[in-house]
Amino acid sequence: MTERYRCPVELTVDLLGGKWRTVILAYLKEGMHRYGELRRRIPGVSEKVLTQRLRELEAAGLVVRTDHGAVPPHVEYRLTDDGRSLAPVLQALYDWGAERAARAGVRVDPPAGRDAG
């Protein structure tokens, strides 16, 4: 990385910033997922944005894309070691969000009866 930051939080937010990157990482924290699984688990994101965010996370070294060369395509995504090192951060975000939702009376409906934590 040739960029310079004045604060470590700035670097973290640069890598994780935006709604979808963090959500994608939270689901990948559970383990490897196929592209279609991620699409179903994150229904609010368009295919274009999901693809862009996955590419960004891959370029940042947080996600690995594996193409098995099958027909139909069988592409899987998983966290790298660097991505897995974010697990405590992602868990803290999940826990804080769950507590905030409970305090504020906000309903959180995880897709397919599962959560991202």
Q: DSSP letter string over 63-94?
A: EEEEE---SS--EEEEE-HHHHTTHHHHHHHH
In this predicted structure, what is the pLDDT of residue 1?
52
Calculate mean pLDDT across residues 75-87: 97
What pTM, to 2 d.p., does this model score? 0.85
pLDDT band at residue 18 using 50, 70 and 90 as cut-offs: confident
Could you give all domains of the chain from N- to C-terminal order, each with its CATH number?
20-105 (1.10.10.10)
Single-letter residue type at 14: D
pLDDT band at residue 115 using 50, 70 and 90 as cut-offs: low
